[in-house]
Amino acid sequence: MSPYFAGIDIGSTMTKVVIMDDEIVASIIGPTGPEHRKLANKVIEEALIKAALSFEDLAYIVATGYGRINVPFADRQVTEITCHAKGIHHLLPKVKTIVDIGGQDSKGIKISNGKVTGFVMNDKCAAGTGRFLEIIADSLGVPLVKLGEISLTADKAAEISSTCTVFAEHEVINKLSGGESVANLVAGIHESVATRVYALVNKLKIEPEVAITGGGAKNIGLVKALEHKFGFPIVVPPEPLITGALGAALVGKEVYEKYASEGLVPTRSGHGLEEARLFS
Amino acid sequence: MTNFGNGSSLTVADKYYSQYGLRARELKGSGKKIIGYLSVLGPIEILTAAGVVPFRLKGNVSEAITKGDAYMETIICPFVRNVFDAAIKGKFDFLEGMVLPHQCDSIDRTDDVWANNLQLPYWHYLNVPHVTDDPSIEFMKDILRLLIRSLEKLTGKKITDDDIAQAVKAHNENRQLMRDLYVLRKSNPPMISGTEMMKVLVAAMSLPVDESSALIKSVTEEVKARPMPANGKVPRIMLIGDQIDDVAIIDAIEGAGAHLVMDDLSIGSKMYWTDVDATPDPIQGIAERYLRKLKIPTTFVGDGNTYQENLEARFGHMKQFIKEFKVDGAILFIYKYCDPYGFDVPAMKSFIESGGTPVLYLEDEYSTSTLARVKTRIEAFLEMIA
């Protein structure tokens, strides 16, 4: 039996788990709550059930994302930059630039031969992140998941000049009372996020192919706005939320195989699921 | 050798680092005049020659600005605002006065805010020029003479050329001792950690020159005598920036599994790498050192024939550091709204990268409130260069 590896990606908004051997066996996506440790247990248990495996079947576990230090049973912590690059390179080997739009940050990653050669992350500001879209969706009374679809019905994108989330929200509300359609406003907001993200990632000198990951990739309107800025198509992986977790699992696999090639077994964290519960 | 009591000299450095100003307060109690200054342009030789104690001001990255913002807008350098906040809260109540050298606009244009709100008995604004040609050297000499006159008025004692020559000698020796300590960072692994080194640098800038020299010398001896740390195969990092004066960022680097082995910081190598030449008129040597030898963005105007020659003159020493200290990656850490460094960033970054050394550019506050984000970037950078 080939060994199994787990990657767990605790993002600011969503927690993702991937279990794999040579390919993905199971994956889970759930919201991140304030209690990372309890959730880390819960999602990995769910993923194990889905994969019909037990915790002991996992040969190595890697945690990533901003909550990566809160996974007691993880054998190693690796940043989301490295993990997204690994995950995307595995799925789409031709990709040279990754755009990741998450809940609280957006970033650009350059890869060459599967290795990170440069990266940029947004400042401590919600502009250009999922949170920005969430706030605007809320003030327009539109569900977040519908934003993409709605923006496609726009006849033109409304001009949103503020990049600051709070000011943009005011601007949207003002334009709404001035008679602008919701669809046009949503399209305008996508345009605004795309401008911001493009300026950020372009510091890396964008090279095709470009892939998009994170929650932002699930918004067709935003992807289209980005494609317009970039000037070429952007590849969306089958499940853009799990590439970080997949990359984490792949890092674990590499570590395990490196040791195995020398007839060794890597050191484990020593924490099991039961022990982890005591912390929560 | 000075007796540092019961406790190692590294412990003493740690004490002066964590209780910043402790020694200055003691000295004030024994009748000494303490003169605070900002920036690497503070003319310490002249302050020492005047018989006062030069004390470089620093802020506290773990403390939020609570009073300072009532006097300074938030577009001003976060470092300057943080130090001013500490001053206005009375953290430096042992100061007799201050010398504020014109390094950047955030210092220059807040001079009156400092002077009017702190109301110290002594105040001197040192109008350091921004170009380095011969007329500027003459100007620099004149403003140093004005500083001498004002210090003579403060102390009631004439400052002779001999006093200045003696002070220059003491500070040159102090810089040599610090460079000797830096040599211990060249081994792999370094004999002294980046965190320990930061504490020594901060302690040193809070002490009179003779005490600073004794401390540095004693640290060097102590470090040489301890067992060599185990040979570690971890990345060797150089940190570049202006006044980074806290271990927080260094802990983040070393905690992520790297060694900080060299710096190009204004309280580090920038301060200690160049000496003052003993010139017949001692003011000449001082003016030349501060204007021409110090490599800082505000007083360096390239006079090379080509752009490449200018880059070499401005940043060439960094490539030298990278070679000598076997640096694997450089972290360029710039405070927000710092335009002098901001202008330098693209050229500096590409110059270092052209030598094959990866650079991580971080722009942040003078505050630990954003440390988690900074840590992720540092970790990702270390994973990238591993």
On the question of pLDDT at B1 being above 80, the answer is no
- List, in sequence order, the alpha helices (H) in chain B: 9-18, 22-29, 44-49, 78-88, 105-108, 111-118, 134-155, 161-183, 194-204, 209-225, 248-255, 269-272, 282-288, 307-324, 339-354, 371-385
Q: What is the DSSP letter of B356?
A: T
Q: In the β-sheet with A210-213, what is the strand arrangement from edge to edge?
A: A115-121, A106-112, A97-101, A210-213, A234-235
Q: Which residues of A touch B380 (CB under 8 A)?
A: 79-82, 116, 119
Interchain contact, A82 vs B384, CB within 8 Å: yes
- Chain A CA closest to residue B364: A123
pLDDT of residue A36: 66
pLDDT in tens, A175-230: 989 999 999 999 999 999 999 899 999 989 899 999 999 999 999 999 999 999 99
Beta sheet of B122-126, edge-to-edge order: B53-56, B34-37, B97-101, B122-126
Instruction: Give the nearest chain A residue to B384 (CA atoms).
Output: A116
Domains in chain A (CATH in brackets) are 4-82+242-279 (3.30.420.40), 94-235 (3.30.420.40)
pTM to 2 decimals? 0.90
Amino acid at B339: D
Of B363, B370, B380, the CB nearest to A81: B380
User: What is the arithmetic mean of pLDDT over B295-314?
Assistant: 85
Q: How confident is the model at residue A37 (pLDDT cuts 50, 70, 90)?
A: low
Q: Do B383 and A66 touch (CB under 8 A)?
A: no
Q: How far is B241 from chain A (nearest CA, A)?
A: 19
Confidence tier at A274 by pLDDT (50, 70, 90): low
Per-residue confidence (pLDDT) for residue A278, from 0 to 100: 45
In this predicted structure, what is the pLDDT of residue A166? 84
Indicate yes or no: CB of A121 within 8 angstroms of CB of B370. no
Using the structure block, give the residue that is written with the tokens 């006044």: B243
Torsional sign, CA A166, A171, A173, A174? positive
3-state helix, strand, coil in chain B (%, to 5): 50, 10, 40
Subunit contact B384:A66, Cβ cutoff 8 A: no
Q: Which of A244, A241, A212, A240 is nearest to A29 (CA)?
A: A241
Q: Residue B380 and residue A119: Cβ atoms within 8 Å? A: yes
Q: State yes or no: pLDDT of A280 exceeds 50.
A: no
Buried b (16+ CB within 10 A) or exposed e, B268-283: bbbbbbbbbeeeeebb
What is the structure's pLDDT at B5? 52
**A56-65: buried (b, 16+ CB within 10 Å) or exposed (e) per residue?**
ebbbbbbbbb
Distance from CA of A141 to the nearest CA of B (A): 32
**Helices B307-324 and B339-354 sit at what angle, rounded to 10 degrees?**
70
- Please name which of B154, B166, B76, B145 lies closest in space to residue B114, comparing C-alpha atoms: B76
Question: Residue A277: its pLDDT value, please?
Answer: 47
- List the B236-240 sheet strands across, edge first: B259-264, B236-240, B329-335, B359-364
Compare B291 and B228 and report the one with higher pLDDT: B291
* Chain A nearest CA to B201, separation (Å): 30
Q: Which residues of A touch B384 (CB under 8 A)?
A: 81-82, 115-119
Any A CB within 8 A of B377 CB: yes
Are the C-beta atoms of residues B214 and B2 closer than 8 Å to each other? yes
pLDDT at residue A130 in the model: 86
Q: Which residues of B touch A81 (CB under 8 A)?
A: 376, 380, 383-384
Using the predicted structure, report yes or no on whether residue A276 has a pLDDT greater than 50. no
Q: How would you label A172-211 residue by residue, b for 16+ Cβ within 10 Å and e otherwise?
A: beebbeeebbbbbbbbbbbbbbbbbbbebbeebebeebbb
Q: Residue A40 pLDDT more than 90? A: no
Cβ within 8 Å of residue B224, ≥6 positions away: B184, B191
Whether the pLDDT of residue B213 is over 70: the answer is yes
C-alpha dist (Å) from residue B207 to B24, B35, B169: 7, 11, 17
Predicted confidence at residue A124, as pLDDT, reads: 65
Closest chain B residue to A77, measured at CA: B379
**What 3-state DSSP class applies to B234?**
coil
Helical pair A130-140 and A165-177, crossing angle rounded to 10 deg: 30
Put simply, the answer to whether B380 touches A117 (Cβ < 8 Å) is no
pLDDT surpasses 60 at B4: no
Chain B neighbors of A80, CB-CB under 8 A: 376, 380
Q: What's the rounded mean pLDDT across residues B148-171? A: 98
Q: What pLDDT does A275 receive?
A: 53
Nearest chain A residue to B372 by CA distance is A66
B-chain CB neighbours of A66 within 8 Å are: 372, 376
Query: Between A and B, how many residue pairs show a Cβ–Cβ distance under 8 A?
Result: 31
Q: What average pLDDT does chain B have?
A: 94
Instruction: Considering only the beta carbons, identify the residue of B363, B370, B379 that sits closest to A79.
Output: B379
Nearest CA-CA distance, residue A280 and chain B, Å: 22
Query: Picking from A114-128, B70-84, B254-268, which range would have the lowest pLDDT averaged per residue?
Result: A114-128
Residue A41, pLDDT score: 83
Residue B363: list chain A partners with CB under 8 A: 123
Average of pLDDT values for B209-221?
Answer: 98
For residue A103, the model assigns a pLDDT of 84
Please give the pLDDT value at position B253: 96
The Cα diameter of chain B in Å comes to: 60
Q: Which value does ipTM take for this structure?
A: 0.85
Residues of A with CB under 8 A from a CB of B: 66, 78-82, 115-119, 121, 123-124
Band the pLDDT of B366: cuts 50, 70, 90.
very high
For residue B368, CA distances in Å to A62, A188, B203, B267 come to: 27, 36, 20, 19
A113-150 pLDDT tens trace = 889 999 999 876 777 788 889 888 998 999 999 999 99
A74 falls in which pLDDT band (50, 70, 90)? very high
Regarding beta strands A97-101 and A14-20, do their DSSP bridges make them parallel or antiparallel, or are they unpaired?
unpaired
Pairing of strands A4-10, A58-64: parallel
CB contact under 8 A, A80 and B376: yes
Cβ pair A81:B372 closer than 8 A: no
List all residues 6 or more positions away from A258 whose beta carbon is below 8 Å from its beta carbon: none
CA distance B203 to B197: 10
Per-residue model confidence as pLDDT tens digits over A223-259: 999 999 999 999 999 999 999 999 999 999 999 999 9
Number of other residues whose CB lies within 10 A of the CB of residue B331 = 26
**Residue in chain A lying closest to B363 (CA):** A123
For A107, the closest chain B residue by CA position comes to B377
What pLDDT sits at residue A160? 87
pLDDT at B249: 95
Looking at residue A279, its pLDDT comes to: 45
Chain A residues with CB-CB distance to B373 below 8 A:
121, 124
Q: Do A66 and B376 touch (CB under 8 A)?
A: yes
Q: Rounded to a whole number, what is the distance in Å from the CA of B269 to chain A's nearest CA?
A: 28
Mean pLDDT of chain A: 90
Closest to A73 measured CA to CA, from A227, A250, A280:
A280
Residue among A78, A118, A121 minimizing CB distance to B383: A78
What are the structure tokens assigned to B270, written together? 């920038």
